[in-house]
């Protein structure tokens, strides 16, 4: 149904193509953009172009950065012997938020997914192996922190097997009951993992 002017329909289409935005929300966003002052609409468009142009992947850990090396890899206060492997750049933020981790990262930019036709060459696995295999490598531990779902688990398993020949410890994040949660609402799989992973007090 093309009721609105063509350029407005086009803008609605663009918003609707974003993840989690339905047709109605897209209309609302497009109307909002039209109601903005010219300069603000332009700075919105510029923000899209600028972010796209200036953000690239860190040459060391593949995290998003504006320079050649990201702020974590550039910092001299991080422990370069521990590498946390995550699937997406946003996961780096999640781990940083815990304020507990002081190592560096490796961002895979995806997980292995036979259904989504994502194979080992489509994500940054090779870059990780090259980091570990480098002559000047200081890496002693690799923490797998992919999401605890089927694809994330399979990816972690696949990478840990590739890392076997190298002299590094491979660990993964603990599974269990979320802090502040309630046993009653924990699903079976989580409870099973929590029991398996029980620790002495």
> Which of 90, 181, 83 shows the shortest CA–CA distance to 131?
83
Q: How far is the CB of 8 from its own copies (least distance, A)?
A: 5
Q: How far is the CB of 48 from its own copies (least distance, A)?
A: 4
Q: Which is nearer to its own copies, 18 or 189 (CB)?
A: 18
> Which of 43, 67, 48 shows the shortest CA–CA distance to 56?
67
Please report, as ranges, the residues that interact with its own copies according to CB under 8 A: 3-8, 10-11, 13-14, 18-21, 25, 27-34, 36, 38, 41-55, 64-66, 71, 88-90, 92-93, 96
Q: Which is nearer to its own copies, 89 or 152 (CB)?
A: 89
Residues whose CB is less than 8 angstroms from the CB of residue 85 and which lie 6 or more positions away in sequence, other chains included: 105, 106, 108, 128, 142, 143, 144, 145, 146, 156, 159
Q: Which is nearer to its own copies, 34 or 134 (CB)?
A: 34
- Angle at which helix 6-16 crosses helix 23-35, to 10 degrees, equals 120
Q: How far is the CB of 117 from its own copies (least distance, A)?
A: 16
Q: How far is the CB of 101 from its own copies (least distance, A)?
A: 13
Query: Residue 190: how many CA atoms within 13 Å on its side-chain side?
Result: 12
Q: Which is nearer to its own copies, 25 or 147 (CB)?
A: 25
């Amino acid at each position: 149904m093309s009721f609105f002017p063509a350029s407005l329909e086009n803008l609605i289409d663009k918003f609707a193509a974003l993840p989690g935005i339905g047709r109605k929300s897209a209309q609302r966003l497009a109307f909002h953009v039209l109601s903005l002052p010219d300069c603000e609409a332009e700075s919105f468009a510029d923000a899209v172009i600028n972010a796209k142009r200036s953000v690239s992947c860190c040459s060391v850990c593949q995290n998003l950065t504006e320079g050649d090396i990201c702020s974590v890899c550039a910092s001299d206060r991080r422990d370069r012997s521990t590498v946390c492997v995550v699937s997406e750049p946003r996961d780096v933020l999640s781990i940083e938020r815990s304020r507990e981790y002081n190592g560096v990262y490796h961002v895979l930019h995806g997980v292995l997914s036979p259904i989504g036709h994502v194979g080992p060459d489509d994500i940054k696995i090779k870059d990780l192996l090259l980091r570990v295999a480098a002559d000047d490598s200081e890496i002693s531990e690799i923490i797998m922190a992919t999401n605890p779902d089927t694809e994330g688990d399979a990816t972690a398993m696949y990478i840990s097997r590739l890392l076997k020949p190298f002299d590094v410890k491979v660990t993964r994040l603990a599974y269990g009951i979320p802090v502040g949660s309630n046993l009653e609402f924990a699903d079976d799989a989580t409870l099973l993992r929590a029991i398996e992973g029980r620790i002495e007090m």
